[in-house]
Amino acid sequence: MTRDEVLSMAAKCSLLNGLIPVPSQFLHFAEAVAAHEREACALVCDEQMTREPYGHAKHAAGQCAENIRARATTPKETE
């Protein structure tokens, strides 16, 4: 999630009230919430992977978990 996306969501929820610049604590909080949600989603994939005995479904679940966790290090995340 980019900072612009965070700010856009905050504006839609009337959280900014014209504050410029946005306090860095707000952005850090939003980033922490996004990281927590990413990990929760990846854990669902991990759990599904352990339920699959073999095959494509097991591999796909593992790939999904890896891809979700990788979003934390993509350029989009750090903008």
Give residues with Cβ within 8 angstroms of 43, minimum separation 6: 65
Report the domain count for the chain.
1
pTM tops 0.75, yes or no: no
Say which DSSP state 17 is in.
Answer: T
Look up the domain containing 60 and give its range. 3-78
Helix, strand, coil % in the chain, rounded to nearest 5: 75, 0, 25
Query: pLDDT (tens digit, 0 to 9) for every residue of the chain, 79 residues total?
Result: 777 888 888 888 877 777 666 778 888 888 889 899 999 999 999 999 888 878 899 999 999 999 999 988 765 544 4
Distance CA 14, CA 7 (A): 10
- CB of 45 within 8 A of CB of 65? yes
